[in-house]
Amino acid sequence: MALPDDFDLAEFVQRVLAEDLGSGGDVTSNATIAEDARFTAQMNAREQLVLAGVEVASAFFRALDRKVEIELLSGDGDRVEHGATLMRLSGNARAMLAAERSALNTLQHLSGVATLTRQYADAISGTGTVLLDTRKTLPGLRVLEKFAARMGGAQNHRMRLDNGVLIKDNHVAVCGGVAEGVRRAKAANTGLQVQVEVDRIDQIEPALAAGADWLLLDNMDPAQLREAVRVASGRVPLEASGGVTLETIAFLAETGVDFISVGRITQSAPAVDIGLDYSFQQA
């Protein structure tokens, strides 16, 4: 699994389970199902999707039943057809039912991010432009959503504010201009690349003269992006951003920009349909 080394999977699983189980646990299953009853189950894709989070989903079942048997039939990043079985499980019935919603919620959401990301990545395939994600993520889920974006074919951009210097329009306004913002960032000697947002062509030369390492071309149309590519002449990487949709991303990529960042892939991805189908097994 390609989760960062510093991601605490056990802590995440316990926190999500606690949210669902509360202090009393699964009172319905405990009242209606024998303590030693066993289930076998299949987790199935109910639509075509790109899978992300299958190991995370498995961890919920293992947390409540250390002896659960899990067979993974697909892996993170796989394109999965409608009707495909993703995993098979066999274990304690109460534990499986208690873990089900947390596992499915996580897998459906992360696979939704990966599926939408793959659509964007496919739309610019062959152009040479790289798809980037953003910090527009659900609070508390950034690591997992950016993991899912990688599984869908995007490259991760800044994970946190301390990963890179990005001078946005509000920074520019406070500093009094693009060039002054870049000069201040360079003078801070952070050791990080200095990226600056520009929304007009006439800001490009001042930004580059001040030492910008990367330009974020914000809300520019294709004609403006082509002009920006011409003016920059390969001196720094160029990233297009702002209002990018599946309908427009290919046109933007064809302008020659190096990167396109898309907030929608994490901010607006719909969950995919994945179900868990059970059969009773005598203890």
Q: What is the pLDDT of residues 213-233, one digit of tens each?
A: 999 999 999 999 999 999 999
Strand locations in the chain, DSSP E?
38-45, 49-50, 69-72, 79-80, 85-92, 130-132, 165-167, 194-198, 214-218, 238-241, 259-261, 274-281
Among 167, 170, 162, which Cα is nearest to 191's?
162
pLDDT of residue 11: 97
Q: Is the pTM of this model over 0.85?
A: yes
Contacts of 250 (CB under 8 A, 6+ apart): 123, 124, 127
- Give dist(CA 213, CA 196) in Å, integer: 8
pLDDT tens string 10-40: 999 999 999 999 999 999 999 999 999 999 9
Q: Is 10 exposed, middle or buried (0-12, 13-18, 19+ CB in 10 A)?
A: exposed
Instruction: Name the fold adopted by 155-261.
Output: TIM Barrel (3.20.20)
In the chain, domain spans: 9-121+270-281, 155-261
pLDDT tens string 146-200: 999 999 999 999 999 999 999 999 999 999 999 999 999 999 999 999 999 999 9
Contact indicator for 226, 256 with CB cutoff of 8 Å: yes
What average pLDDT score do residues 39-58 get? Answer: 97
9-121+270-281: CATH architecture? Alpha-Beta Complex (3.90)
pLDDT of residue 224: 98
Among 195, 239, 233, which Cα is nearest to 217's?
239
pLDDT tens string 90-146: 999 999 999 999 999 999 999 999 999 999 999 999 999 999 999 999 999 999 999
pLDDT of residue 6: 80
Is the pLDDT at 1 greater than 70? The verdict is no
Contact indicator for 102, 16 with CB cutoff of 8 Å: yes
- Give dist(CA 32, CA 27) in Å, integer: 9
DSSP 154: P
Residues designated catalytic: 101, 136, 168, 197, 218
Token pair belonging to 105 = 């919620």
Coil vs helix vs strand at 211: coil
- Give dist(CA 191, CA 210) in Å, integer: 16
